[in-house]
Amino acid sequence: MASKSPFARLKSFVADLLLWSFFVAGLATSMGGAGAFLDGAAKTAATLAGVTVSLVTGSRITKKPKIKAFLSTRPVLWFLFLFNGGVAAFSYLTVDGAKGIATAVGMGLVSLGAAGGLVSSYRARASYEEQDNVIPFQQPGYDDQYQQTAYSAPLHQSPYQSPYDAPYPPAYRPADDTHWA
């Protein structure tokens, strides 16, 4: 793939910087930053605007390939599931009224989303490995070219020049997102 021009890299950097800046500003406004400067209806409007800005920019950020690849890893999904589930239970039990219920529902939805990601990745991996003649990808070692398994053809019969040229199975594809840049 051809390298991006300096202008394209600068444009991408500025766009990412603005996106992240709006996200952080929206979070700060929605979490009480508006209360330092505003009161009453203006504070409520600024808080709702901050929530909207952070949700929109956050959803745009999570669609970036590197962020999406990071968020779909099993350790991150487990952290999101356990942490948000714990916060949901804690906020339901300790915060009174509608705020506690709303916080518990929001965090519970995030926790359920992470659980859904864990289940779907487990099912995808299990269904892929159940297919005939499929061995999970392993890093080739020094002696691998001399050892043959029941599922692999001899090295000279392989359609690929080397084991490194063979395509990765979808469940084990590396998170190399340079083709998206």
In a domain, 152, yes or no: no
Q: How many domains does the chain have?
A: 2
Contact 70, 76 (CB under 8 A): yes
Is the per-residue pLDDT at 12 higher than 90?
Answer: no
Residues 25 and 43 reside in one and the same domain: yes
Residues 59 and 76 reside in one and the same domain: no
Least-confidence region, from 8-12, 33-37, 57-61, 177-181 = 177-181
Residues 18 and 58 reside in one and the same domain: yes
In a domain, 35, yes or no: yes
In a domain, 25, yes or no: yes
What amino acid occupies position 67?
Answer: I
Is the per-residue pLDDT at 147 higher than 80?
Answer: no
For the segment 80-99, the average pLDDT, to the nearest whole number, is 91
Encode the chain in three state secondary structure. CCCCCHHHHHHHHHHHHHHHHHHHHHHHHHCCHHHHCCCHHHHHHHHHHHHHHHHHHHHHHHCCHHHHHHHCCHHHHHHHHHHHHHHHHHHHHHCCHHHHHHHHHHHHHHHHHHHHHHHHHHHHHHHHHCCCCCCCCCCCCHHHHCCCCCCCCCHHHCCCCCCCCCCCCHHHCCCCCHHHC
pTM of the model: 0.54
Query: CA 54, 60, 62, 64 torsion: positive or negative?
Result: negative
Per-chain mean pLDDT for the chain = 77
Report residue 149's pLDDT band, with 50, 70 and 90 as the boundaries.
Answer: low
Least-confidence region, from 39-48, 82-91, 92-101, 128-137 = 128-137
pLDDT at residue 138, rounded to an integer? 54
CB atoms within 10 A of CB 164: 7
Count CA within 13 A, CB hemisphere, residue 69. 12
Is the per-residue pLDDT at 141 higher than 70?
Answer: no
pLDDT at residue 81, rounded to an integer? 93
Residues 13 and 57 reside in one and the same domain: yes
Report residue 85's pLDDT band, with 50, 70 and 90 as the boundaries.
Answer: very high
From CA 94, how far away is CA 139, in angstroms rounded? 49
pLDDT at residue 88, rounded to an integer? 93
Query: CA 110, 112, 114, 120 torsion: positive or negative?
Result: negative
> Among the three residues 93, 112, 131, which one is the final residue of a domain in this structure?
131
In a domain, 149, yes or no: no
Report residue 64's pLDDT band, with 50, 70 and 90 as the boundaries.
Answer: confident
> Among the three residues 110, 131, 152, which one is the final residue of a domain in this structure?
131
pLDDT at residue 122, rounded to an integer? 72
Is the per-residue pLDDT at 90 higher than 90?
Answer: yes
> Among the three residues 97, 116, 131, which one is the final residue of a domain in this structure?
131
Please give the residue range of the domain that contains residue 40.
7-64
